[in-house]
Chains A and B, each alone.
Chain A
Amino acid sequence: MPISTEPLVVNIGPQHPSTHGVFRMRVTLDGERITDAEMIIGYLHRSMEKLAEERTWTQNIPFTDRMDYLAAMTGNLSYCLAVEKLAGIEVPERAQYLRVIFAELQRIASHAMANGTFVNDCGAWQTPLFYMFREREKILDLFEMTCGARLTTNYMRIGGVAFDLPDEFMPGLRALLDELPDRIGEYEQLLMDNEILLMRGRDVGVLSPETAINASMSGPMLRGSGVAWDIRKADPYCVYDRMEFEIPVGHNGDCYDRFTVRMEEVRQSVRIIEQAVPQLPPGSHCADVPLNLRPPEGEVYSRIESPKGEIGFYLVSDGGPHPYRWHVRSPSLINLSALREMVVGQTVADAIVTLGSIDINVGEVDR
């Protein structure tokens, strides 16, 4: 009697502990090997782009919090920079330094979450996650001290930042910066020399540099594949051109490389903050921008380096108080372009690990 086999179609998600949000992947399995993977998103689509067309330019800043809710500061920053470019607004220097400090703090917090959940996807039962959350908690406390919110900070304004630093901020920041390098060393010792993590991450989800560039990858995905590209170096915004830091680059383009790139980026962020804090000039924290801001007719595309990748805003203005077109170039969505290439041919466990290493945030994917 002839034996036939049938491929198994399994849904990973939308409810799943490891898909980082409501994300669904329909995989066709042959035993444990994936032969085809299809991605189905839109579970968190909130039509932000349409809603933004009915609100003023300043009223749209809270939308940028809620897109990538784990990196709200950089979302805010990207949008405010785009509007300032469109309207030709000059930002005072103190505000620029504050922006850099908060963007880098947000990078540390987001990477702590990304790496913690990556190791969780590899199966480590949240132990490294809890360790990394210690630092993230301190950073979120600093955010709350300054702008009142931990996650959806809504801190950047068009022309500067919303509030100046309270008195308790600097001692808290100093304490955090003093203990961070030791902690990162601890994580490296616990995780990066861990054989099992090496086995789970090496040669899993490999992305070659040509594919990465062709698929518009950005952020740690691109750098993990060996492409030395960072917008903070290529197109410096705020005061990044005065900061000295290096870009970590991976060797093989696999999950383990992205993990080490993120870990190293946290170190470089600490370095940047250490340079920015003594250079912080006195002055006003926000330029004088009218409430009914009406940028001239035109369009702008401006991008920054968020923890997830290149977040860009394409804004079209018709001279009115509302945007004509408000489009987000979201890194999480575009980083998913190569998911199928990376996942086909691996096992289900590897697919989960790969998805974890892409570090998507479904709020940003779906907007």
Chain B
Amino acid sequence: MPILSPWYDFRDLGNAAARLADALRDIDAPEGVVYALVGLLGAVGVLLFVGLTTLVNIWVERRLIGRMQVRRGPNRLGPFGLLQPVADAIKLMQKEALTPRLADGLVFTLAPVVIFIPAILAFAVLPWGEKMVLADLNVGVLYLLALGSTNSLIVFMAGYASNNKYALLGAMRVIAMLISYEIPGVLSLLAVVAFTGTMSLSGIVDFQANYWSWLLFFQPLALVIFLLGSTVELNRSPADIAEAESEIIAGYHIEYSGMKWGLFYAVELVNSIAISAVIASLFLGGWWTFGLEEFVPGWLIFIGKIYACYFLLIWFRGTLPRFRVDQLMAFAWKFLLPMALVNILLVALEITVWEEFDLSAGAVLPVFAVVNFALAGALVAGWARVMAAQFERFPRRARLVPDIDVPLPAEGGGHAARAAV
């Protein structure tokens, strides 16, 4: 099937699918076959993207983290280390993938395979261009959230089947964490859905195209909450307690080796790209960029935005230390959830104002943008101050003493309390 033939307009990849459909209908194939084969072509394209992006991401992540750590990343294999992912893949494939004797063999082997399924399925609803969506579901957002919640189950499968206390600790932490962070994530996307009036991803991108702006300007708080929530859902720093290397050494995938581990590693990258793609289409306009898509193909801009979000995720990882489990829970329930609820309240108010008084978009949207930004800033700063008050009881620096000075204990008993410093 020629995909890059000279008469093919590469600005819309759906042209190839349309040509295929036409060719099939010319030979009088039944509609079911046409549908299946066109769908297959689209799926192959998506899988190609997923595979390539995994390889590219390994390189990007390692080089970038290296740069943030004042060192070069991999630079031995190929120019600039570009063949590093290939070497990694070959190495993992030829390794012995051990299964511990007492581990639950079926579940143990199944977990890394099954974890890939939601990751790849998420790419089906992403809008790559104006008419380039593999599956234009009108409940796209709901579909994505449902896929996200299967992750917790599969991670628990992996941890429990390993017959290892560290893995079990990791798995239990993950369940608590992922379930807690579902709620702020859902609520922030609820605000987006309420604002745009549609759950389909291509519909939301069309909304942004129609009103000539990105949803980022109207829903900054939702973006922040969703970004933080996704960082946790992805098991990435600062919330990678499931595989906290310095504490429970790799947590739920501690017993995995060889390509089974390689699949866990790859799925983390694929998930990151999927979430970045979701953020890019919901908040950053997807393929639409103020008219730039006339000159540059929309899907290239989309990939650019995906990598911009991915850069942000890598930046988090390189800079921040890790939360502790109970602090992470507190962050979700006491910080993100109230803010998400306030955000929804605000969106509901705005939509009502917009519809009730039948105002024009041009008049009302800039006001919304300003109000939302102001409120987001105030809420985050103020609430953070309230929540962090207990850690500021003591000064943040040591105090300097010119000479030794150890007072005797207070009178009345050997271990009487020492006077306050």
Contact = CB atoms under 8 A, between A and B. Distances in A.
Interface stretch (B114-122, B125-133, B272-280, B321-329): B321-329
Contacts of B321: 119, 122-124, 194, 196-197, 200
Contact of B165 (A8, A32, A209, A226): A8
Contact of B248 (A8, A246, A248, A348): A348
Nearest to A134: B70
B322 A252 contact: no
A264 B388 CA distance: 24
A9 to B, nearest CB: 8
Contacts, number: 147
Interface of A: 8, 10, 16-18, 32, 119-127, 130-131, 134, 192-200, 202, 208-210, 213-214, 223, 226-230, 233-234, 246-252, 257, 260-261, 263-264, 347-350, 352
Given A127-B319, A249-B400, A251-B421, 10 more contacts: A32-B325, A123-B240, A123-B244, A125-B237, A196-B322, A227-B406, A247-B400, A251-B398, A252-B393, A349-B325
Report, as a range, how many residues of chain B touch the other chain. 35 or more
B7 interface: no
Given A193-B396, A228-B405, A247-B401, A348 B247 contact: yes
Contacts of B244: 123, 349
B249 to A, nearest CB: 6
A249 B399 CA distance: 5
B70 A131 contact: yes
A10 B169 contact: yes
A127 B391 contact: no
B51 to A, nearest CB: 26
Given A125-B317, A196-B323, A228 B406 contact: yes
Nearest to B319: A127
Interface of B: 65, 68-71, 165-166, 169, 173, 237-238, 240-241, 244-249, 317-327, 388, 391, 393-406, 409, 415, 417-418, 421
Contact of B324 (A194, A214, A347): A347
21 contacts: A8-B165, A122-B321, A124-B319, A124-B321, A125-B318, A127-B69, A194-B320, A198-B391, A200-B324, A200-B327, A208-B418, A228-B401, A246-B402, A247-B404, A248-B398, A248-B401, A249-B400, A257-B394, A264-B397, A348-B169, A349-B325
Contacts of A120: 246
Contacts of A131: 69-70
B68 A18 contact: no
Contact of A347 (B237, B325, B396): B325
A188 to B, nearest CB: 8
Nearest to A117: B246
Contacts of A130: 69-71
A349 B247 contact: yes
A176 to B, nearest CB: 16
B232 to A, nearest CB: 13
Nearest to B399: A249
Given A134-B70, A251-B395, A260-B396, A347 B404 contact: no
A287 B195 CA distance: 83
